[in-house]
Structures are given as C-alpha cells and as structure tokens.
Amino acid sequence: MDRRTNPYTPNAGAQPPFLVGRDRELEAFDILLTRMERGLTQQSMIITGLRGVGKTVLLGAFREIAEERRWVTLDTEITKNASFANRFARLTRQGLLRLSTTERWRDRARRAASVLKSFSVTFDPQGSVAIGLDVDPLQGQADSGDLSEDLTDLLLALGEAVKESGRGVVFLFDELQYLQVDELGALITALHKTVQRGLPVTFVGAGLPQIPALAGEAKSYSERLFTFPRIGPLARADAIKALTVPAADLDVDYDDSAISCIVDYTEGYPYFLQEYGSVVWDHSDRSPVTEVDARSAQPLVEEKLDESFFRVRIERATPAERRYMRAMAECGPGPQTAGDVAQRLGKTTQQMAPARARLIDKGLLYTPSYGYAAFTVPQFDRYLLRSDQPPSSTGDEI
C-alpha cells in the first residue's frame, strides 16, 4: 500500500486514527467538567497504566474536550530533577494570559498575577517566570518558602481569577510518577483547597501504576480527591477495531487469520497495534491483508520495537540493573519476588536491593504488591530474552 496514506500512528502520545476502548474514562472526564460548571464537586482522576497503553493519548483527548467547552487547559510532562515550582509558575502564567491580555485583566486576574510574582521570586530568585508581568509581588501571599502553602495561595488566586472570567481551568500532567512526594503532596493540598472553595480548577494526571501508592504516601486523603482508573490492553473486540477501522476507511481489509495473528502477537496493547499495523501497511501490496502478510511483517515489527520502544529504556540501565532485569525475565512472565530474582543471580535480597530500588526510581519497574516487582513496559521480558546479552558480572557492582 501507499506509505503516504498509511493511517497508523506509532508515535509516542500521537492520537490514533480511531480511539477505542476508553469510553469510560472519556465519560468520567466529561462528567467532571459538567459538574464543576454547575458548581458541584467531583473527584478528579489520575490515569495509571504501563507504557504504551495510551495514557498520553487520553490526556490529549481530555484537552480537546475541555477546549471545546472553553476551559483553559494547561498541560505538561513532568521530568526528573526539574523544578516543579518553576514549571507550575510558568503554567499559571500561561493560564492568566489565556484569560485575557494584561491590559484587559480584571481585578482578580491582576491579583493572581501579583501572587504569581511573589511565588516566582520566592522559588526562582532571578524571577524569570515573572518577566513581563507589570505588577508588584503581593506580600504575605505565596512567599513563605513552603511549597505546599505557597502553591495553595497561587492555585486559589488563579481559581478566583478564572471564576471571575466565567471559565474553568484544568491542569493535565503526564509522567506524574516523577514528582517528588513533597511536590505531589503540595499539589494535592492546593487542589483540596480549591475544591473546598468551589473554584473551577481541576487537575488530571497520568503515570505508571505506582501512582496511587505515591499519592497515598503524599496525602492520606488523596483517595477522596481522585479516582485512579487503570487502563491496560484493549479488549479483543476493541483491538480488532483499532487495527481494522483505519484501514477500512481507506478501502483496505484484513482477513480473519491476519487479524488473529496481529491481535494475538500484540496482546491488544495500543502502541503495538499501531506499530504492527503501520509495518503491515508499508509492506503489503494488496487487500485483503492475509496471514502470510502479517507473519512476514512480524520480524520487522520486532526490529522496530527493539530499536525504539525497548532499547531507549534499557540504555538507561547500568550493567548491574540490566543483569537484574534479565534475571527477572528468566524467572518468567509477570511479577517476580525480590528473593527469586536475587537467588537466580546468586546474591541475597539485601545485596540486590539497591539495583531494584534504582530500577523503580527510573520507572523501569514497579511494585504491584509487597515483595514483588514487574516491568512497566509490556513484553519487556520477551525483549530481554531475545535480544539482551547480559553483561558479565564483575562480582562487585550492585
């Protein structure tokens, strides 16, 4: 088929041509905005799931829904070792400027800008975020140096400004697991205050499966502010639609055996479906796509996944960490106990604990239950077993 018309989108966070299997989450977000527009409270949500299940895609869909309803949307991807205070200040500045130009700010928007300037100067002495804000810092607001207290002052001021304008604001944070516990706690505290005051401000996040535990550690009442829907692979019927509908719109069909081959291999994971569909499209010359076409494309699919989706993650690991993950893969699919992995490496659990902890910190592993660890990347065990040659042990690196 013509590569120029390839309908599949195997790109990080790219909106698929046919979003399917996420109706529950989309409806929950619509209900959230509707209730807030009516002055009612509603739990927000933090989407969790493994890599490649479409969390970022969902955030993008949420943004479109909110913008259609004239909400101010402020989205960002959290990164490690970056100042969360500065990031939040920049988002707040964007929000104020989207409400109106500085010359047309209403009273509460101007006050919010003054609180923002206080916050910015407090957490960034150079005040780079506040450049261009022709207001003075508001003394006694967002200037204590305590992130939780000052973030609350800032979010309340923004909420009042947004309410005065007759609109709402929604923060959309991706890769939420990279927030420090105190940062996540400060954000939860600030949002809690806006809920108590009935302000049209909400926050939706997405991250790896450890987020509920982190949120609970940050603030014990987080489960009352958020739901934590976990998304995973698509149900078989939805996986078939995600594969076949984009092609059918261009008059290309799959026979049943080809569909089974692809869906079985991908296990319904959205990113893998997009990658497989893209490769099959580029390497098939007729419709319908047959099982022979699908199977002949499989080595190319694995090559693409290995070179991009998997390799960029394993290259973040040290030799000791790679040995640990390889041992996990050799123990079998699914979560593995720390004791079983250590035993396979000929080490004690205590000796391997640092490597395990670093892998969790890097987002390569998560702990689904006490004593167990699992890969955050679907089919990562398969990749390790087929392509990763574990480094020889030095005997001293842990």
Maximum separation of any 2 CA atoms in the chain, in Å: 71
Q: Please give the pLDDT value at position 394.
A: 46
Contact 109, 133 (CB under 8 A): no
Q: Please give the pLDDT value at position 398.
A: 56
Spell out the domain ranges in the chain: 23-227, 234-313, 316-387
> What is the Cα–Cα distance from 138 to 243, expressed in whole angstroms?
55
Reported CATH class of domain 234-313: mainly alpha
Angle between helices 147-165 and 107-123 (to 10 degrees): 160
Residues in the chain predicted with pLDDT less than 70, given as ranges, are 102-103, 125-128, 130-132, 388-398
Q: Report the half-sphere exposure of 224 (CA within 13 A, side-chain side).
A: 7
The percent of residues in the chain predicted with pLDDT above 70, rounded, is 94
Fold of the CATH domain 316-387:
Arc Repressor Mutant, subunit A (1.10.10)
Using alpha carbons, select from 205, 157, 150 the residue that is nearest to residue 179: 205
Contact 169, 74 (CB under 8 A): yes
For domain 23-227, give the CATH number: 3.40.50.300
What do you get for the CA distance between the two ends of the chain, in Å?
50
Q: Please give the pLDDT value at position 178.
A: 93
pTM of the predicted model as reported, rounded to 2 decimal places: 0.90
Q: Please give the pLDDT value at position 390.
A: 57
Contact 46, 211 (CB under 8 A): yes
Q: Please give the pLDDT value at position 180.
A: 92
**Cα–Cα distance list, 374 to 345, 359, 370 (Å):** 17, 10, 11
HEC readout, the chain: CCHHHCCCCCCCCCCCCCCCCCHHHHHHHHHHHHHHHCCCCCCEEEEECCCCCCHHHHHHHHHHHHHHCCCEEEEEECCCCCCHHHHHHHHHHHHHHHHCCHHHCCHHHHHHHHHHHHHHHHHCCCCCCCCCCCCCCCCCCCCCCCHHHHHHHHHHHHHHHHHHHCCCEEEEEECHHHCCHHHHHHHHHHHHHHHHCCCCEEEEEEECCCHHHHHHHHCCCHHHHEECCECCCCCHHHHHHHHHHHHHCCCCCECHHHHHHHHHHHCCCHHHHHHHHHHHHHHCCCCCECHHHHHHHHHHHHHHHHHHHHHHHHCCCCHHHHHHHHHHHHHCCCCEEHHHHHHHCCCCHHHHHHHHHHHHHCCCEECCCCCEEEECCCCHHHHHHHHCCCCCCCCCCC
